[in-house]
Homo-oligomer: A and B are copies of this chain.
């Protein structure tokens, strides 16, 4: 199969997923269970909102990036975030720098986690759809059942979003 055929095939899956809304397309392997969230195209080029660190047992360095709508909302302190806001959290194992003793740096990538704001589609979960991906594949349904409960318990007063903008 040529690359162009693969691209067409991929587009067909994407169109099918969009048409199906939040229905899980088990065959595509590309959307999260429960929410039908996918990895947004080009997210790695998005602007930085803030880094973070997570202690053991995960031991991770993280960075949250946002699409233009997210960045504008942070800059204007807009709450709740508007529909179309997308946040992506990248995570890597947190390893010692081999070149500078006081520093630790990203090791292997672990998860990429996505939050998509759509107040109608995700009305029952604060307007947010969640997706957790490992090597580009969505994690299982059990993992996705934990997302909203934690965000609801801890950061309901910040529209269910933990991360603040680091100036």
Binding site for B on A (CB under 8 A): 44-45, 47-48, 50-56, 58, 61-63, 65, 71, 90, 92, 94, 97, 99-100, 102-106, 109, 154-155, 162-164, 166-167
Contacts and interface: CB of A to CB of B under 8 A. Distances in A.
19 contacts: A44-B47, A44-B48, A45-B71, A48-B48, A50-B63, A50-B106, A51-B106, A52-B61, A52-B97, A52-B106, A55-B103, A56-B102, A61-B166, A99-B154, A100-B154, A103-B162, A105-B163, A105-B166, A109-B167
A95 to B, nearest CB: 10
Contacts of A92: 166
Given A52-B106, A63-B63, A63-B166, 15 more contacts: A44-B48, A47-B47, A48-B48, A50-B63, A51-B51, A51-B62, A52-B103, A52-B104, A53-B61, A53-B105, A54-B103, A54-B104, A56-B102, A97-B162, A109-B166
Contact of A53 (B44, B50, B99, B103): B103
The copy count of this chain in the complex is: 2
A52 B50 CA distance: 12
A46 to B, nearest CB: 8
A50 B71 CA distance: 19
A17 to B, nearest CB: 24
A62 B105 CA distance: 10
Contacts of A100: 154, 162
